[in-house]
Every structure is written in C-alpha cells, then in structure tokens.
Amino acid sequence: EVQLVESGGGLVQPGGSLRLSCAASGFTLSDYWMSWVRQAPGKGLEWVASINGDGSQKDYVDSVKGRFTISRDNAKNSLYLQMDSLRVGDTAIYYCSRGGVIGGRLANWGQGTLVTVSS
C-alpha cells in the first residue's frame, strides 16, 4: 500500500525558513516523479513544485521560485521542500503527492502538514 506521511510544518515568522519532509513507503520512490501541492485555508489547490525520479529535473510555480527548493533522497525514501524567505501568503496545508510528470497525474497524496507564517 502506498503511504505518504508529511512532517515539518509549524508556525514561523515572515522571512523565516522551514523544511518539510515526506516519508514514502509501499513503492520504489526512484521510479516516480513527486510533487508538493498546497491549499491555503478555505481556498483551492495550488501546485507548488515537482521533481523527477533522480532529482535532475525540477519545476516550480513562479511565486516560489528562488525561495523554495524541492529535493529527494531515494535511499531514505524521502521527499523534501526547503522553504526560505517565507511570506504570510505561503500559509497553507502542504501535501506531498506521487506523480507530477508533464502529462501525468497525482495518484496518491499524504495527509498534509500545516505551515502558518505569521508574526
């Protein structure tokens, strides 16, 4: 059974940093693109970033380029999102998802981790 478990969320001040982690199990991580999708409170879904199986290709939404970094450690079955220079507008639940290649689909999702950016 595919399982994705996010961690690392919390309260941070504007300008601060957080590192989200996603522990994957039930499949071979290196075989899949992986993605982060976020959802601000009471709002819709926003794709944030995707990374290919070996980490050589990364895509980001414009609003996080230069501030967020997606990465992975296939040996540790883990996906990461390093978030720097956080803004109030980054407040959201962040979901880890299996998939993300152009033309593909987000077939499995974690339960999400809440990031709150506030002074």
HSE-CB of 23 using CA atoms within 13 angstroms: 3
Q: Contact between 59 and another protein (CB under 8 A)? A: yes
Q: Contact between 47 and another protein (CB under 8 A)? A: yes
- Answer for the pair 117, 13: CB distance below 8 angstroms, yes or no: yes
Taken in order 40, 65, 37, 2, the sign of the CA dihedral is negative
Q: Which is nearer to another protein, 18 or 48 (CB)?
A: 48
Residue with tokens 């996010």: 6
Q: Which is nearer to another protein, 113 or 117 (CB)?
A: 113
Given 100, 113, 115, 117, the residue binding another protein (CB under 8 A): 100
Query: Where on the chain is the footprint of another protein (CB under 8 A)?
Result: 35, 37, 44-47, 50, 59, 61-62, 95, 100-112
